[in-house]
Structure 1
């Protein structure tokens, strides 16, 4: 029985040496375990197993006297012979790794498992040299007035900032302008920006000028056609026929569309983010041309108190807009709040800017024409901060009541702003009321 135990222990020691040779330092723990449990071969006179000295007892003969001094196991050489061991009793060489190495490795592994993934930082927006990608007006947003009241020539305006973000509404007016062909025109616009003030400031500054320039180009083309027809520039043209009047209307509509697209292209060329909705009104030779992109709206107030919406909001929920977007490769979706969005992002389907949403969000405006009559009293042009809480008829009724009871010039606009705020509107609100009676004599 004793010889069998000795044989098994010798075999275990031999396996430990082999494991150490194959696995290196990692096998030292197993070799130590086997050598502590199993003794090596002894002389025939020995009747009990001899315990293998612990690794920290492997001292050189010269250090035996100083055995009371503690020596780290890693400082021992693997080829040193323990004191009191015969040549054939040499235990397998073993290297004991310090315990703190394993603990440090465990901590490193845990830290690696708990480390969050790398942040994917998008590349910077490509902009023209010297252009701020966050908009040239980004540093001026805090300077925009919370409340604004304007009394101009033939119009009044009131604007109030919302409670959730910086003021992003704007407006533009060209009150009285004489074109190259001798026509007197007036231009009014209300703009609602999103993603900053860059787009709304740009459109408010450029759109009206581009409309006037496009009209001048159209008038120049008409004058050249008249000269080719044998009419002198100073001669009075005959009253236009129905066909000629239709051609002139088409020219004006084409000029407005060209001005919208030119303004949008110029803004996109700057590489600035954001966008803007718009509703504009052009009065020329007694005709009213109304255009819009997005959810700004223009409503006509008649003498009988009837409200007539002259624009239709461009939203992703409109059936024709959905078909247009899908035919160009995009899609619309309805979120949990019941709001339809283009590409799960934008609630309006037409706007200036929004470069990342092209071509699904276009700036092609819808333009309508109406001949002004004595029944046409005023025009209400406002951002969606008003129309989300006030209907078209309520707006006309409020303006009619305020115009008759208030002595303040901007009273009707202030009444509408206050009405929308009282109903919980948290958005920016801009309301412009244009007097149409003054254009009847033109």
Structure 2
């Protein structure tokens, strides 16, 4: 029994010495290729490397000099990374970490460059000042001419997008005297409203001149058969009125076509009034509006807003392949985009948003005192009757063409919370009835 115990102790001691020798020999073989002073001898791989599967080798060009282990020269580092030598583990780990960081950087969005805030005096809007410098359009505008007055004020948007146009006391061939007034409300920039304000009135005059020349040629051809009558019959007057309405429609469509040919974005709404031979012709596209003020103080709307919420406009749009939807704010829009269903421009919304105007004709009488033509910045906050009442009250002690009545309406809409551009024009109709 005693001999058995001694035998087991001596066997355990022998195994311990053998394990110590194997462990010491393995570490020596591992460090020998790295730190051996001779580079001609072939390095011996460590036992643990012989048992592991082959790993991806790192090209020597990818190893930086500062990544080599301490005590190893550059030549030894290249020798370690040769195909016959063991792979250096530390640079591979660093390279994997660098690749991981690069992948994370590629997935990260670029850092935003936020400019410093604009230094300005208290109470000054830096965005409004920049918009005025960019567009050269005044924040407030007053105008007064023969038979009309106007006041305009920019809203909180980045640029003023309202405009107007006036042609007074123009004689066309044949002896007809006419006057043209228009208020325009642009959207998507000033390109459309500037173009329409410059071209529409001229196109209306040109279309009327062409229609007048054609009518005169027809009358001359009738002279050969019978002498002309002293006065126009009701039928001839009606025919002449229809000719003027057709000329106005043609002028609207021509202006729209000319603007679209330029390939410029944006659009514009309009409300215009033409006075010719004692007749008042009012046309509109969009939500600009014209309201007649009578001697009794009664307001008579002469236009109907072209909005996507109108039942007849919805049917027209759907019949042409478009659609109308109502958003969460309760505003109806064409193709989920535009709130008006008729306007100049808006090339991407054709043919659903057309420029075909609605035109009405009215014979002027002494009861017709003035006409209020304004953009939707006024009508969204002020009713038609309130507008007529304000102009009538302002005209009690002065002429109805006084610019004070327009400024009062602009201030009224702004005080009620209108944030849109506001343009108000008042036309004196008494000068055409006297």
TM-score, length basis structure 1: 0.76
Aligned to 2:71: 69
Q: 1:176 aligns with which of 160, 163, 169?
A: 169
Shift of 1:356: 1.6
Q: 2:296 aligns with which of 304, 313, 316?
A: 304
> Per the alignment, do residues 100 and 262 of structure 1 end up closer, same or farther by CA in structure 2, a change over 3 Å counting?
same
Tell me, in whole angstroms, the C-alpha distance in 1 between the residues paired with 2:214 and 2:79: 102
* Contact 1:56–1:71, Cα closer than 8 Å, also in 2: no
The alignment status of 1:111 with 2:114, answered yes or no, reads no
5+ long unaligned stretches in structure 1: 1-45, 82-91, 117-137
* Contact 1:290–1:311, Cα closer than 8 Å, also in 2: yes
> Per the alignment, do residues 299 and 62 of structure 1 end up closer, same or farther by CA in structure 2, a change over 3 Å counting?
same
Tell me, in whole angstroms, the C-alpha distance in 1 between the residues paired with 2:83 and 2:209: 104
5+ long unaligned stretches in structure 2: 1-16, 41-68, 111-130
Aligned to 1:57: 32
Decide which moves more: 398-407 or 235-244. 235-244
Aligned to 2:223: 230
Q: 1:188 aligns with which of 171, 181, 194?
A: 181
The alignment status of 1:355 with 2:347, answered yes or no, reads yes
SS in 2 for 1:227: helix
Alignment of 1:325-336 (within 5 A): 325-336=317-328
Shift of 1:112: 3.1
Aligned residues: 364
> Per the alignment, do residues 393 and 139 of structure 1 end up closer, same or farther by CA in structure 2, a change over 3 Å counting?
closer
Alignment of 1:212-227 (within 5 A): 212-227=205-220
Aligned to 1:364: 356
The alignment status of 1:400 with 2:403, answered yes or no, reads no
Tell me, in whole angstroms, the C-alpha distance in 1 between the residues paired with 2:80 and 2:392: 104
The alignment status of 1:96 with 2:77, answered yes or no, reads no
Tell me, in whole angstroms, the C-alpha distance in 1 between the residues paired with 2:250 and 2:345: 15
**RMSD between superposed Cα atoms in Å:** 3.0
> Per the alignment, do residues 404 and 55 of structure 1 end up closer, same or farther by CA in structure 2, a change over 3 Å counting?
farther
Per-residue CA deviation, residues 95-122 of structure 1 (Å, 9 max, x unaligned), is 5351211211221222233357xxxxxx
Shift of 1:188: 0.5
The alignment status of 1:166 with 2:159, answered yes or no, reads yes
* Contact 2:132–2:139, Cα closer than 8 Å, also in 1: no
Tell me, in whole angstroms, the C-alpha distance in 1 between the residues paired with 2:216 and 2:402: 40
> Per the alignment, do residues 103 and 148 of structure 1 end up closer, same or farther by CA in structure 2, a change over 3 Å counting?
same
Tell me, in whole angstroms, the C-alpha distance in 2 between the residues paired with 1:79 and 1:111: 32
Tell me, in whole angstroms, the C-alpha distance in 2 between the residues paired with 1:339 and 1:80: 73
Per-residue CA deviation, residues 73-114 of structure 1 (Å, 9 max, x unaligned), is 853447899xxxxxxxxxx95553512112112212222333
SS in 2 for 1:50: helix
Q: 1:433 aligns with which of 418, 426, 429?
A: 426
Tell me, in whole angstroms, the C-alpha distance in 2 between the residues paired with 1:345 and 1:104: 48
